[in-house]
Chains A and B, each alone.
Chain A
Amino acid sequence: MDSLINAAGRALAAGDPLGALKRVALRQDAAALALRGIAMAQLGDFAKAKTLLKSAARAFSPREAVARARCVVAEAEIALVSRDLGWPEKALRAARATLDAHGDRVNAAYAGSIEARRLILIGRLDEAERLLAGFDPAPLPPVARVAHELAAAGIAVRRLRTKAARSAFGRASLAAYEANIPALRAEVEAASLVLNTPVGRKIAQASETLLPLDEVETLLASGALVIDACRNVVREADTVVSLATRPVLFALARTLAEAWPADASRETLLRRAFRARHADESHRARLRVEMGRLRAELGAFAEINATAAGFALTPLGASEVVVLAPPVEEEHGAVLAFLADGESWSSSALAIALGASARTVQRAMEELSAEKKVQAIGRGRARRWMMPPVTGFPTVLLLPGPLPSD
């Protein structure tokens, strides 16, 4: 590398992108393009950064495979931070293999952590988990370790593993302290709040309590029969029955659970499940049919018996019946409940699940998206919706310092 490239690389590593640009602004060689790309990314001009890094990757000679691969990794991180999730996974994987083969372990590990963060973002938690499981963040520089630990914490939170989440946040916090980047420390602090803020509401025998994550975990493991309105499932310890695509059945189950140990009246059940204001004979008939269906679904957990006024739930093994609801229930609560599984959904799938028209779902998504409660991935027919991850991960760019190969 030449003198100005080294000087610019040092400026970047010291967090001075303008100083780096000043030194290589007019140069078109590969190393200069790469440094300019990273500097532009740090200055927030992602579009220009992407173009520059692409041309840099092309400008490096075939002999400089490592430098090329590093450009691809930097580009992938920019795509991730700018939430451009249609980014080709294959290119990143190939770059990771190249870096591994050439013994650039730090950047290879970094590429892996970017891959995992992207998988979490697009709601492919199982894959992300697999990727992180076989992954040792120890050799990474502190900034990259922060990203890795936040990703691990994000998955643990999703999976309701509070202890694992807590220790991952702890490690993230230490690494952020070591990295000494204020924005990053703030990011970790903000993400860790999820452990201390209510994430759910427990409704049982006419009283409500707000629960933090660890108490939700305890509740789900307690063996109580939980009607989980955050995910539209019914669970008892490890047995889970999903009613995510059966909103009527779920509404009935929840109404019965909220009335437990008493029964729920037909009027209440009809109002909650069918929005019916008065019960006529056809409604009653439909209620009987739906109750039959719910009986079949919940057969492993509970009996549903007719009473004089309506229906009552009687758990088979559990000593208690509890409803777990989101802390705030809102107009589009049902949509959010589906999205709360962390997966990405298409509008048409949501319409089927909600039993609503495509247009209704579209409107709901537009409103929620404007409130930043959901995010869209992809365009046109490939568009998918999901909730912003419980804990995201750095929105600050963590690009490694000087790129050029030596």
Chain B
Amino acid sequence: MKRAAAEILREYGPFPGVKTVAGVTFDGEKVWFASGDKLNALDPGSGATLRSIDVAAHAGTAFDGRHLYQIAEERIQKIDPQTGEVIATIPAPGNGGDSGLTWAEGSLWVGEYRARKIHQIDPETGKVIRTIETKRVVTGVTWVDGELWHGTWEGDESDLRRIDPATGEVLQTLDMPPGMGVSGLESDGAGCFFCGGGNSGKVRAVRRPGYAPTVANK
């Protein structure tokens, strides 16, 4: 297993009116982050927040190319980013114990925090297709180039880890600096991870190993 310290490329926030960041996703241009009662769009280049959608947003956030998905209480809402409207709702697999959320290969992937599991579910019905067992609590999930990464955070210890999707075995970890935790995780599809920072109210960009230390800004 490869182990290294996470390299923070940039910190965004805290943002006015945002007490906590509960989920993060990336739509190719903007970082969207959940802050309890809002989804906020952030330009990772300028660091400016561009707009927000009023919607219950208590945990993970995902984007499928057209729609945003947002966990609230024990359900997953499908949201039209143009209008901010909730167009569908499915039950969350962890029944409210859900934390991270990402979209990949036609499925939604949902981290179940305390159960230390990642569920692959059908975005139409919420039906569980398969479940991956992990070693630590799951606080964020993302796929990039066929790699499955998840965040974990317990007390003072937090890291990003790449796991084998078949076995759950940990292949690589990036340890967050002490006092910084991950709540919500998404890759930009290239050399950087965006992480929610829980009650710090911040979003952080972390360098993906093997890539140039810059924040993508397409």
Question: Do A and B form a real pair?
Answer: yes
Chain A interfacial positions (CB closer than 8 Å to B): 1-4, 6-7, 10, 23, 29, 61, 63-67, 102-103, 405-406
Name A2's contact: one of B96, B179, B198 (CB within 8 Å).
B96
**Which residues from chain B contact A102 at a C-beta distance below 8 Å?**
156, 179
Is the Cβ of A406 less than 8 Å from the Cβ of B58?
no
Name A10's contact: one of B36, B97, B139 (CB within 8 Å).
B36
Once the chains are docked, how many angstroms separate the CA of A4 from the CA of B59? Answer: 8
**Which residues from chain B contact A3 at a C-beta distance below 8 Å?**
22, 58-60, 71-74, 92, 94, 96-99
Is the Cβ of B157 less than 8 Å from the Cβ of A7?
no
Q: Which of B115-159 contact A (CB under 8 A)?
A: 139, 153-157
Given known pairs A1-B183, A2-B114, A6-B59, the reply for A67 and B98 (CB within 8 Å) is no
**Which residues from chain A contact B60 at a C-beta distance below 8 Å?**
3
CB nearest neighbor in A for B181: A406
Is the Cβ of B113 less than 8 Å from the Cβ of A66?
no
**Which residues from chain A contact B139 at a C-beta distance below 8 Å?**
1
CB nearest neighbor in B for A6: B58
> B172 near A: Cβ within 8 Å?
no
CB nearest neighbor in B for A60: B155
Once the chains are docked, how many angstroms separate the CA of A244 from the CA of B148? Answer: 77
Q: How far does the Cβ of B182 sit from chain A's closest Cβ, in whole Å?
A: 10
Q: How far does the Cβ of A26 sit from chain B's closest Cβ, in whole Å?
A: 10
Name A64's contact: one of B58, B73, B112, B154 (CB within 8 Å).
B154
Closest CB pairs A-B (n = 3):
A4-B96, A3-B59, A63-B155
**Which residues from chain A contact B22 at a C-beta distance below 8 Å?**
1, 3, 6
Is the Cβ of B92 less than 8 Å from the Cβ of A6?
no
Is the Cβ of A406 less than 8 Å from the Cβ of B199?
yes
Listed by A's residue number, 29 A-B pairs whose Cβ atoms lie within 8 Å are A1-B59, A1-B99, A1-B183, A2-B59, A2-B113, A3-B22, A3-B58, A3-B60, A3-B71, A3-B72, A3-B92, A3-B94, A3-B99, A4-B58, A4-B74, A6-B59, A7-B72, A23-B73, A29-B114, A61-B154, A61-B155, A63-B155, A65-B156, A66-B156, A67-B155, A102-B179, A406-B153, A406-B181, A406-B198
Most chain A beta-carbon neighbours within 10 Å: one of B60, B97, B155, B199: B155
Q: How many residues of B contact A (CB 8 A)?
A: 32
**Which residues from chain B contact A7 at a C-beta distance below 8 Å?**
56, 58, 72-73, 96
Once the chains are docked, how many angstroms separate the CA of A63 from the CA of B154? Answer: 7
Given known pairs A1-B113, A103-B179, A406-B199, the reply for A6 and B155 (CB within 8 Å) is no
Once the chains are docked, how many angstroms separate the CA of A37 from the CA of B157? Answer: 25
Is the Cβ of A64 less than 8 Å from the Cβ of B155?
yes
**Which residues from chain A contact B74 at a C-beta distance below 8 Å?**
3-4
Is the Cβ of B157 less than 8 Å from the Cβ of A63?
yes
> B20 near A: Cβ within 8 Å?
yes
CB nearest neighbor in A for B153: A406
Q: How far does the Cβ of A62 sit from chain B's closest Cβ, in whole Å?
A: 8
Given known pairs A23-B73, A103-B179, A406-B183, the reply for A6 and B20 (CB within 8 Å) is yes
Once the chains are docked, how many angstroms separate the CA of A379 from the CA of B147? Answer: 64
CB nearest neighbor in A for B37: A10
CB nearest neighbor in B for A64: B155
CB nearest neighbor in A for B75: A3
